[in-house]
A and B are shown apart, each in its own frame.
Chain A
Amino acid sequence: MNKEKDYIKDLAEIRQMMERSSKFISLSGWAGILAGIYALVAAYIAYTLFNFKPGEESSITPSDMLNVILLALALLVLALTTAVFLSYKSASKRSEPIWNATSRRLLLNMAVPLVTGGIFLIIMISQSHFNMLSSISLIFYGLALYNAGNFTYKEVKILGVILIILGLISACFISWALLIWAAGFGLMHIVYGIYIQVKYKR
């Protein structure tokens, strides 16, 4: 029957509208996987090339510390660029604007903990307190993800909680900080990315 088809279409459209207007679903799992790989590579470089071993303050020279900071910044830019680029591609494939009220809210909600954490990191670095950098970055990023989880896949919320916990653990075991950081930013991103890709995209 023609009418019946209409109603089913109505319902499908309603569901799609509700989802589209409340969840940002253009984020690709690949963004997580790639960000995780970048993070693992960066952690490896920091450890081997720049002698970055948290907990053994004396072992790192100021120039190596500067290199580590630059490396972290490069990692941040690279991961963000990848995420934006892949989201843009995925959104345009479904001919949806990437910059809509939902993505604006998503970013705004992430921005508050992220900017706070960023400033906190800068303050710590400027005072040469390097011990907590891993912990701070994990915790504030985790808080940002927890917030973001309200506006995108709910798994992001779980990822956020895991990173917060890792951040707290890392604060207790300074000598493990880099390893825990790599587990959080590297491994967890990859696991999350694969999960999203398998569950939602295929």
Chain B
Amino acid sequence: MKVLETGFNKAFESRIRLGIMSVLSVNDVLDFNALKEYLDATDGNLASHIKALEKEEFIGMEKSFIGRKPNTRYFITDLGKIAFSNHLSALERLIQSQK
């Protein structure tokens, strides 16, 4: 995990990833389609960002079946919560300092 000096987290350097973290931090679990709706992203794009966040262990997933259809649901991990809130604080600090 790369944390820059200022407290910024490289893992959150894209709009979609910020979106995923924001949405998951206020919802217990969300499935792929719900994420897609909220973020207005394409399947491939969203999947690659999810994978990146999963690799950092900021989000986790659970697989289940609805009838016969597989359903993947995502949630934010404790590590992810801390990292995201640090990132937000860093953003705030930066904006404050530049005022």
- What is the CA–CA distance of A15 and B26 in the complex, to the nearest angstrom? 10
CA distance A18 to B24 in the complex (A): 8
List A contacts of B30 (CB < 8 A): 21, 101
CA distance A17 to B31 in the complex (A): 16
Number of interface residues of A (CB under 8 A): 17
Stretch binding the partner chain, chosen from B47-55, B58-66, B89-97: B89-97
Report Cα–Cα, A13/B23, bound state, in Å. 11
Q: By DSSP majority rule, is chain B's interface helix, strand, loop, or mixed?
A: helix
Interface residues of B in 37-94 (CB under 8 A from A): 37-39, 88, 91-92, 94
Q: Does A89 interact with chain B (Cβ within 8 Å)?
A: no
Q: Chain A contact residues: over half helix, strand or loop, or mixed? A: helix
Q: How many residues of B contact A (CB 8 A)?
A: 21
Knowing A22-B26, A100-B38 are in contact, say whether A17-B19 is a contact too (CB < 8 A). Answer: yes
Question: Which residues of chain A are near B92, meaning CB under 8 Å?
Answer: 11
Q: How far is the CB of B13 from chain A (nearest CB, A)?
A: 10
Give the contacts of A1-52 with B (CB-CB under 8 A). Answer: 1, 4, 7-8, 10-11, 13-15, 17-18, 20-22
A7 x B18 contact (CB < 8 A): no
Give the complex CA separation of A180 and B23 in angstroms: 41
Can you list 22 residue pairs at the A/B interface with Cβ under 8 Å? A4-B95, A4-B98, A7-B95, A11-B88, A11-B92, A14-B18, A14-B88, A17-B19, A17-B23, A17-B39, A18-B26, A20-B38, A21-B26, A21-B27, A22-B27, A97-B37, A100-B37, A100-B38, A101-B33, A101-B34, A101-B37, A101-B38
Q: A18-B23, A21-B27, A100-B37 are in contact. List 16 more A-B contacts (CB 8 A).
A: A7-B94, A10-B15, A11-B88, A11-B95, A13-B19, A14-B22, A15-B22, A17-B22, A18-B22, A18-B25, A18-B26, A20-B38, A21-B22, A21-B26, A22-B26, A101-B37
